[in-house]
Amino acid sequence: MAAGGLSLVLHAHLPFVRHPEHEDFLEEDWLFEAITETYLPLLRRLERLADDGVPTRFTISLSPTLTAMLDDDLLRDRYLLHLENLIELAEKEVHRTRADAAFAPLAQYYRDWFQATRDAYLDRYRRDLAGAFGSLEETGAIELMTCAATHGFLPLLKTEPEAVRAQVLLGQESHRRRFGKPAAGIWLPECGYYPGLETVLQEAGFRFFVVESHGVLNGSVRPHYGLRAPVACPNGLAAFARDPESSHQVWSADHGYPGDPNYREFYRDIGFDLDFEIIRPHILDGKTRIFTGIKYYRVTGDTENKLPYDPKQARRMVLSHARHFLEQRQLEVDRTAPAMDRDPHILCPYDAELFGHWWFEGPDWLEAVAREAAAAHPDLRLLSPSDSLSQDPRLQVLTPSASSWGSEGYSDCWLSGANAWIYPHLHRATRRLCSLAARHAKEPAQSPAARALNQAARSLLIAQASDWPFILKTGTSTEYSEKRIRDHLGRCQVLCDAVDNNAIDPYRLRALEEMDNLFPFLDFRLYNGGPASLLP
Amino acid sequence: MCREIEAEVLSPSPPAFSEIVLLEMNPHRVHAYWHVTPEALMQARRDHQAPNAPLSLWLYGLFGSTLDDDQAAVPLHGEALGGLTGQRDFESLTGGGVYRAAIGLPLSDGGVVVVASSNPVRLPFPSPSPRYECSLLDIRRGGVGAPSGGEVHPLGPGPAIVSSVPWPGSVSSVGGRGAHGDSD
């Protein structure tokens, strides 16, 4: 069999959902669910591989907003409360199902899992999951990438170059401060690329980024190696193309692995299945049914009559699917290697939250892929994009075409009838901030005006997140997304007005700094050509 | 403290200047948003003695050699507008084409008074480039600037790997006006 490289890239991201203004807040559950179902399981499996001496090399991009939330003490406290609530609910389920042969073992399974999760979070990781990922990078098990500061979809911000520059430079600065060194790679939000973006990526010190397949296939010249090797933009920034086949095998709703009948069914949750009185004490407002994370059924098939979930059978399928995945990648390497003067390389990027949250068995599948690759595919080497560039730094010069991994392949998803209204506001707010940054360029760092402009920048950045227009387009949580956009643009506007009128309310400013506490090192002069921070 | 100011109200006050902005959506579609101040509209009508000229929007195809070359602008679409602020898409455009929009007043002599002109946009090509050129760049050398130090790939005149990835299927092509990069 031919030798080849395989990069599994997991992009971990959530928008900034932190609401100190409320005792508890539904959307913070997005983070808590992802911690329980994705981040902690990933960490545990990666550590298990290392403990067993299995050579592993995954690539994980941690978005700056996610990293900030993982580091946030308020959210850490609230996560533990969330877990305690889940454990209490699971205990009740153990009692309720005690005479039910099909569901009693599952109820115990969930209770034990939640308890183990709490213990791991407190004792093993001491609430520091970002630090745990950083430690894994030091062992070589993973390479960390970062992302644009708040996951702004850059192709739709580019009419204001300062907005793109701020997203990119701040993303790198945030990573450097948290992990002690700059990231070599940036995950472009939604794989959104446009020709010329590489200039600011280079300014930020990045070496590579990932684009959608047709970004390379439809690039400035034909790719010599197709999708089997990275290319270099004229300024030397490397671009790796997503492999569509391996994406399809994992992502596809109809044909992907997660749809196997033996895997856990996401949509059957006791939050919706049980009598309301049973779950009422365990939901936030006592009125609205929500997903609890306790799910007793498997996919079964295209039927409403779902069968009970069997973890053992699911694990068997995990192994089978891991083997299939690697066999398919090896076939592709074997097919393309004879025509190449280097080892073919396949890059498989996924949303990290697919693994565990949406596809419950996903973390087990990743572990199985690593074990099987080591045991049965010695020619298929798991490596990171940086490893690939070190292995063969001679790349074809090709400027990718504008592209994204959205459903249409371009910007349509984030610019439609449902969300186009936000862009005039985002662009105008950027221009106003740039104008104020220029006028106040000599402002002392801790002056009220400087702090107000720093905070206005934070508000604008949060409003730029690609998550909000995506949610507006897909029609889920639209009220919340619209409110977030309007609130943050409103905060930006109020702060800019205050600076303009020399009427800064210190009480209000302090409150906003507390609420949107992202990037405490940010300096507004970033919007006037300055660096992301003036602090050491 | 935070709860008191949970929601700052975004007051969508229109900008104090006129503008029109184009955003690329896909190889065949652009999105435009615009705003014209009442003062700018009145001034244009007064200056050009066209008190009844309707505020209008035009889309141009730019067939010059660069994004900034307006010499060969060809009007593709024109319409009278019902208000000073709006948004709309332009469809069925040519992949790889360069476009610019303007907002202003049509004059009785066939001329146009431009109140605001947009940024130019180049749409992405919807298909692979016919050009093949394999210059290699060693990115360890810093990779800054054009790959003048690159070497001609020794393997031959065409791609080694031809990918058959069908993408994207949802955007129908209306034909291209030229090859990739031929007007960069």
Cα angle A442, A460, A486; round to 5:
140
Residue A119's CB is within 10 A of a number of other CB atoms, namely 10
Tokens found for residue A215? 């970004």
pLDDT at A534: 79
Tokens found for residue A372? 């099987």
State the pLDDT confidence band at A64, using cuts at 50, 70 and 90. very high
Comparing A114-128, A143-157, A466-480, the range with the smallest average pLDDT is: A466-480
**Chain B, nearest residue to A491 by Cα:** B8
Cα angle A112, A352, A140; round to 5:
90
**Chain B, nearest residue to A340 by Cα:** B160
Q: Contact A50/A139 with Cβ under 8 angstroms?
A: yes
Condensed to tens digits (0 to 9), the pLDDT of residues B99-154 reads 999 999 999 998 899 999 999 999 999 999 999 988 999 998 654 444 444 444 44
pLDDT at A251: 83
State the pLDDT confidence band at A255, using cuts at 50, 70 and 90. confident
Q: Do B125 and A420 touch (CB under 8 A)?
A: no
Segment A99-108 mean pLDDT:
96
pLDDT at A283: 85
DSSP result, A345-405: EEEEEEEGGGBTTTBTTHHHHHHHHHHHHHHH-TTEEE--HHHHHHH--EEEE-PPPSB-S
State the pLDDT confidence band at B175, using cuts at 50, 70 and 90. very low
CA B150/CA B171 separation, integer angstroms:
36
DSSP result, A153-198: -GGGTTTSHHHHHHHHHHHHHHHHHHHSS--SEEE-GGG-B-TTHH
Q: Do A236 and B142 touch (CB under 8 A)?
A: yes
User: Which residues neighbour B47 within 8 Å (Cβ) at sequence distance 6 or greater?
Assistant: B113
Q: Helix, strand, coil shares of chain A as percentages rounded to 5? A: 55, 10, 35
Mapping DSSP to helix (H, G, I), strand (E, B) and coil, where does residue B148 land? coil
pLDDT at B177: 26
Buried b (16+ CB within 10 A) or exposed e, A259-270: ebbbbbbeebbb
Query: Residue A41's closest CA among A372, A374, A366?
Result: A366
CA A403/CA A210 separation, integer angstroms:
11
The C-alpha of A75 sits at a distance from chain B's nearest C-alpha, in angstroms, of 16
pLDDT at B67: 66
CA A470/CA A188 separation, integer angstroms:
15
Long-range contacts of residues A450-455, Cβ cutoff 8 Å, at least 24 apart: A450/A523, A450/A524, A451/A509, A451/A513, A452/A495, A452/A498, A452/A499, A452/A504, A452/A509, A453/A495, A453/A496, A453/A499, A453/A524, A454/A522, A454/A523, A454/A524, A455/A491, A455/A495, A455/A509, A455/A512, A455/A513, A455/A516
Report phi then psi at A145, rounded to 5. Answer: -115, 170
Closest partner residue to A226 (CB to CB) among B4, B142, B163 is: B163
The dihedral region occupied by A457, where left means phi > 0, alpha psi between -120 and 50, and beta the remainder, is alpha
Q: Do B153 and A396 touch (CB under 8 A)?
A: yes
Condensed to tens digits (0 to 9), the pLDDT of residues A462-476 reads 999 999 999 999 998
**Chain A, nearest residue to B34 by Cα:** A424
Query: Residue B128's closest CA among A216, A148, A46, A315?
Result: A216
Q: Contact B28/B92 with Cβ under 8 angstroms?
A: yes
Q: Do A220 and B9 touch (CB under 8 A)?
A: no
Segment A57-81 mean pLDDT:
98
- Measured between its terminal Cα atoms, the distance across chain B in Å is 55
Q: Kindly tell me if the per-residue pLDDT of A54 is higher than 60.
A: yes
Q: Do B146 and A393 touch (CB under 8 A)?
A: no
The strand pairing partners of B152, in sequence order, are: B135
pLDDT at B179: 33
Interface of B with A in 52-91 (CB under 8 A): 87
Closest partner residue to B25 (CB to CB) among A207, A411, A490 is: A411
pLDDT at B64: 67
CA B161/CA A28 separation, integer angstroms:
46
Q: Contact A424/B33 with Cβ under 8 angstroms?
A: yes
The strand pairing partners of A397, in sequence order, are: A232
**Chain A, nearest residue to B11 by Cα:** A490
Q: At what angle do helices A311-336 and A244-251 cross, to 10 degrees?
A: 170
State the pLDDT confidence band at A259, using cuts at 50, 70 and 90. very high
Per-chain mean pLDDT for chain A: 96
**Chain B, nearest residue to A428 by Cα:** B15
pLDDT at B148: 42
Check CB contact of B16 with chain A, cutoff 8 Å: no
Point out the residues of A that are catalytic: 190, 351
Interface of B with A in 118-177 (CB under 8 A): 119, 123-147, 150, 153-155, 158-163, 165, 167-168, 170-171
Query: Residue A83's closest CA among A44, A48, A110?
Result: A110
Partners of residue B116 in chain A, C-beta under 8 Å = none
Q: Kindly tell me if the per-residue pLDDT of A387 is higher than 50.
A: yes
State the pLDDT confidence band at B156, using cuts at 50, 70 and 90. low
Segment B65-78 mean pLDDT:
75
The strand pairing partners of B22, in sequence order, are: B32
Q: Do B21 and A159 touch (CB under 8 A)?
A: yes
Segment A255-279 mean pLDDT:
93
Check CB contact of B179 with chain A, cutoff 8 Å: no
Q: Do B137 and A232 touch (CB under 8 A)?
A: yes
Partners of residue A202 in chain B, C-beta under 8 Å = 144
Closest partner residue to A490 (CB to CB) among B9, B143, B171 is: B9
pLDDT at B66: 67
Share of chain B above pLDDT 90, in %: 56
User: Which residues neighbour B83 within 8 Å (Cβ) at sequence distance 6 or greater?
Assistant: none
Condensed to tens digits (0 to 9), the pLDDT of residues A404-456 reads 999 889 999 999 999 999 999 999 999 999 999 999 999 999 999 999 999 99
Report phi then psi at A60, rounded to 5. Answer: -125, 125
Segment B60-78 mean pLDDT:
78
Q: How many CB pairs under 8 A join A and B?
A: 206
User: What Å distances lie between residue A319 and A46, A242, B53, B104, CA to CA?
Assistant: 17, 24, 72, 65
Share of chain A above pLDDT 70, in %: 100
Condensed to tens digits (0 to 9), the pLDDT of residues A1-39 reads 999 999 999 999 999 999 998 888 889 999 999 999 999
Q: Contact A236/B142 with Cβ under 8 angstroms?
A: yes
Mapping DSSP to helix (H, G, I), strand (E, B) and coil, where does residue B170 land? coil
Q: Do A20 and B143 touch (CB under 8 A)?
A: no
Long-range contacts of residues A497-502, Cβ cutoff 8 Å, at least 24 apart: A498/A452, A499/A436, A499/A440, A499/A449, A499/A452, A499/A453, A499/A456, A500/A436, A502/A449
Q: Contact A162/A180 with Cβ under 8 angstroms?
A: no
Q: Do A232 and B139 touch (CB under 8 A)?
A: yes
Partners of residue B132 in chain A, C-beta under 8 Å = 221-222, 224
Partners of residue B142 in chain A, C-beta under 8 Å = 236
Q: Do A218 and B184 touch (CB under 8 A)?
A: no
Closest partner residue to A511 (CB to CB) among B5, B23, B135 is: B5
State the pLDDT confidence band at B90, using cuts at 50, 70 and 90. very high
